[in-house]
Amino acid sequence: MLYREAGQFKTNYVADSAIFPLRQDRIGLGLIIIAAYALAFLGNSFLLQAVMIPFLVFSLASIGLNILTGYTGLLSLGTGAFMGVGAYACYKLMTAFPEVNVIVWIFVSGFFSAAIGALFGLPSLRIKGFYLAVATLAAQFFLQWCFIRIPWLVNYNVSGALDAPLRTLFGTPIMGPNATPQTRYLVVLTIVILLTWLASNLVHGRIGRMWIAIRDMDLAAELMGIRPLQTKLLAFAVSSYYCGVAGALLVFLWYGGAEYDVFNINQSFFILFMVIIGGLGSLIGSFFGAALIFILPIVLGIVLPAIMSPFGISVGADVIEHLRFMIVGALIIFFLIVEPHGLARLWQIGKQKLLVWPFPY
């Protein structure tokens, strides 16, 4: 089927304000969602556990950071810590109230990181850019200190680690050692789709316009009557909510248990790179970024040895690891210089070209 705008006239503002005004886009999206669910039944455990679940978790965290950094223009290096708040909150809640379904606690845990995020967002009224990044860095280190030093957070576990207890949904284990990758994938996928849909609604409406207005020209935004502090704090809260839920998913539905260390500064940078490469201010870019940074190295790890072995060169795991850092680094530099709007922009250009194909314009 051709990718065309022709013949699709919008007769009312509801249709014209739709997030996906093109029929082909809506069909494409539907197919992707169907394929994603089908994958739960077609893919093997490795694909689901080692590729798809983390990809979705990182996509969700990237959406979170993108709301703050991409849409509102506030740079944060505290993503890892905000994810951690979600994970620890989820742990406390589900162990304190095991009778309530864990899905509820996963969603509720995000509110804790939202509150903490908004608190650390307070300085954003006065400071921007580099200085704000440093303030969020303080949040990163302070919260990480809390994760280490407050044993209450892990119910005085001697190991000091978070572990995923057995939890079920409709009698099927979805968390803990008995939960299969398939069920965990289905849960993560559903949560990510739901939250992505909500984020998409937010960024395309009044609130999204206010965020972008603050990013593009904060003084003019204030002259439109947009309150800078409230708008920025809302961005911090919503952003941290997403990061918090992603953190809870990361520990309990992917790793199955983790220590404070997974929420360190490296995690913050990892997510930031995904957002930059994927495209600042783009939800779909968040998925692209997560895919590129997380999945590409895995693919390389499989493909490189296969290519090299006929030449008698054996590629060890350490080489792959080095290559991974080099490639990610090179990509970041490439995107910063060549396409600051990231993969999302390339995607858009591609679609524009397709709309008029086979003519050049």
Q: Which residues bind other proteins (CB under 8 A)?
A: 12-14, 16-17, 19, 198, 201-202, 204-207, 209-210, 212-213, 215-217, 219-228, 234, 281
- Shorter beta-carbon distance to other proteins: residue 164 or 237: 237
Length of the chain measured in residues:
361
Transcribe 272-319 into DSSP letters.
Answer: HHHHHHH-TT-HHHHHHHHIIIIIHHHHHHHHHHHHHGGGT----HHH
**Selection from 53, 49, 50, 57 nearest residue 247 by Cα:** 57
- Shorter beta-carbon distance to other proteins: residue 128 or 204: 204
User: What value does the CA radius of gyration of the chain take, rounded to a whole number of Å?
Assistant: 21
> How far apart are alpha carbons 140 and 157 in whole angstroms?
23
**Selection from 109, 61, 111 nearest residue 273 by Cα:** 61
Helix, strand, or coil (residue 74): coil
User: 277 and 292 in contact (C-beta within 8 Å)?
Assistant: yes
Least CB distance to other proteins at residue 241 (A): 11
> How far apart are alpha carbons 89 and 216 in whole angstroms?
34
Least CB distance to other proteins at residue 189 (A): 20
Least CB distance to other proteins at residue 243 (A): 17
Least CB distance to other proteins at residue 13 (A): 4
User: 283 and 63 in contact (C-beta within 8 Å)?
Assistant: yes
Least CB distance to other proteins at residue 24 (A): 18
**Cα distances (angstroms) measured from residue 185 to each of 19, 25, 57, 97:** 27, 25, 10, 24
- Shorter beta-carbon distance to other proteins: residue 206 or 316: 206
Strand runs (DSSP E) across 206-281, as ranges? 257-258
Least CB distance to other proteins at residue 340 (A): 12
Least CB distance to other proteins at residue 11 (A): 13
- Shorter beta-carbon distance to other proteins: residue 167 or 215: 215
Task: Return the H-helix or E-strand segment holding 175.
Answer: strand 172-175
Least CB distance to other proteins at residue 224 (A): 5
